[in-house]
Amino acid sequence: MLGSTSSRLAALYTAGFALGVLLLGLTTFLTTREALIGQFEQRIHTEADALAREYRVEGLNGVQQAVRERDRTPGDLDYGLEGPLGQALAGRLAGARARAGWSTIRFGDGAEAPEKIRVFAVDLGHGYRLMVGDDDERIEDVERKLVARFVLAFLGVVALGGIGGYGISRVVHRRLAAITDTAQAIIDGDLARRIPEKSSGDDLDRLAVTLNRMLDRIQALMESLRQVSNDIAHDMRTPLTRLRQRLEGALASPDESLRTAAMEAALEDLDAILRTFAALLRIAQIDSGVRRASFHAADLTAVARTVVEAFAPAAEDAGAHLVLDAVEPVMVDGDPELIIQMLVNLTENALRHGGPGVRVTVKVDRSTPAPACPKASASACSTASTGWSGAARRPAAVLAWPWLPPSRACTEPRSQCAT
């Protein structure tokens, strides 16, 4: 999981967030330091200005007295007053010989280690110089504390980001693992497997819903392909078996005329097989949309009448009853050849599997449901019904057998049960 995309994204997010916090902390540190230095220098500068005014008003003695008083105050600033020759007149900083303006000096009285003092020196006139300063160790203490707190906060943010990123990565990894496991199960042949949906409405849930819809469509297509394969095998078995029998009979027959007739019949069977394959190809073209452009209006009533008239003699010879129930023309947009092939297959199957005495009704109307066949009828009936699909307005073909409840088996003779 550590090498997954979600983990890398979480690590990248944490690194970006940590960088943002670092920049924010650096900005805060520099701003705070600048503010502290500004306050520090402003205090010294204000004190120096006040003593300079004292000199101008009270003279040298007044400023000396003020410097001595301030210098004795504990925790106050450091002061110094020097004469024209640099001699110390008053204050702790006297004799430090600081240059005019701001400067940093190291000052000590010998008993202690020198301390770094930030000094502001101003010339009072006539060679006298006033110095006011303070130890900037206070600023450094604040800076050290600020850096220490920031480091702790930064480490906390990184830790929280790492823990949060790991948690998010784990959740995403589980969701993606479910998708991967489902895909692997489908590869192994479990086409009914689906991706679990959390109903959370997030991106991964919408992806799971979309993929499940795609898998449903693929499964439906696979079922359709399996059904088509079964239909092809079913449709081809009878003509191929008949063709084999004709060819075996032709090989076994010594009569040349019989062999010729058998060969002609075999050619007719081959033509029927080729027509079946052509119909399958047309269906595939229609499903792909290639052949839909050639659809044109066709009258289902006329098509059904043609099929019924073609099968009527064979049905009568077999003792069955083939009836057309159609009054008004029913126009559809489609391929007449495929419609004829569909009705031929339905009618042929009904006559073949209905048994002796079966009544086959080919009904053409504009209603989708096939008419019900009474269960207690003396003879079974099979109905091939073509109607309209109310919503899509497309023709629908239904082969309806005698109705039986799903939980009951047919107990009538085979001639009265459709199988």
User: Is this prediction's pTM over 0.75?
Assistant: no
Six token digits for residue 12 = 């990248």
Pairing of strands 115-125, 128-135: antiparallel
The answer to whether residue 44 is domain-embedded is yes
182 vs 388, which has greater pLDDT? 182
Contact between 348 and 326 under an 8 Å Cβ cutoff? The reply is no
Q: Which long-range contacts (CB under 8 A, 24 or more apart) does 79-87 make?
A: 79/51, 79/130, 79/131, 79/132, 79/133, 80/130, 80/131, 80/132, 80/133, 81/128, 81/129, 81/130, 81/131, 82/128, 82/129, 82/131, 83/127, 83/128, 84/126, 84/127, 84/128, 85/127
Give me the helix-helix angle, 300-317 and 336-354, nearest 10°. Answer: 30
Which residue, of 147, 179, 209, is where some domain finishes?
147
Six token digits for residue 219 = 């499964």
Residue 220 pLDDT class (50, 70, 90 cuts): confident
Which of 90, 102, 109, 111 is CA-nearest to residue 133? 102
The answer to whether residue 210 is domain-embedded is no
Which residue, of 147, 180, 208, is where some domain finishes?
147
Dihedral sign, CA of 350, 234, 281, 401? Answer: positive
- Stretch among 263-272, 323-332, 374-383 having the lowest mean pLDDT: 374-383
Three-state DSSP class for 362?
Answer: strand
Q: What stretches of 286-380 adopt beta strand conformation (E)?
A: 296-299, 321-325, 331-334, 359-364
Considering the chain, what percentage of its residues have pLDDT values greater than 90?
0
Pairing of strands 88-90, 78-82: antiparallel
- Stretch among 73-82, 132-141, 389-398 having the lowest mean pLDDT: 389-398
Which pLDDT score is estimated for 381? Answer: 38
Which pLDDT score is estimated for 80? Answer: 86
Instruction: Tell me the per-residue pLDDT of 334-355, one tens digit each, with 9 for 90 and over.
Output: 878 778 878 888 888 888 887 7
Q: Which residues, listed in sequence order, are joined to residue 384 by a DSSP beta bridge?
A: 362, 399
The answer to whether residue 199 is domain-embedded is no
Instruction: Tell me the per-residue pLDDT of 352-373, one tens digit each, with 9 for 90 and over.
Output: 887 778 888 888 887 655 444 4
The answer to whether residue 255 is domain-embedded is no
Which of 77, 73, 82, 69 is CA-nearest to residue 48? 77
Which pLDDT score is estimated for 283? Answer: 73
Average pLDDT over residues 381-408: 32
Cα–Cα distance, 50 to 58 (Å, whole number): 12
Which pLDDT score is estimated for 47? Answer: 87
Which pLDDT score is estimated for 1? Answer: 53
Average pLDDT over residues 83-91: 83
Average pLDDT over residues 175-198: 86
CB atoms near residue 280 (< 10 Å): 17
Q: What stretches of 108-169 adopt beta strand conformation (E)?
A: 115-125, 128-135
- For the domain that residue 35 is a member of, what is the CATH number? 3.30.450
Which residue, of 126, 147, 168, is where some domain finishes?
147
Structurally, the chain folds into a number of domains equal to 2
Which pLDDT score is estimated for 111? Answer: 58
The answer to whether residue 160 is domain-embedded is no
Q: Which domain, by its residues, includes 122?
A: 5-147
Per DSSP, 144 falls in state H
Which pLDDT score is estimated for 4? Answer: 67
Which pLDDT score is estimated for 202? Answer: 80
The answer to whether residue 410 is domain-embedded is yes
- Stretch among 187-191, 237-241, 407-411 having the lowest mean pLDDT: 407-411
- For the domain that residue 412 is a member of, what is the CATH number? 3.30.565
Residue 102 pLDDT greater than 80, yes or no: yes
Cα–Cα distance, 19 to 17 (Å, whole number): 5
- Stretch among 36-45, 52-61, 104-113 having the lowest mean pLDDT: 104-113
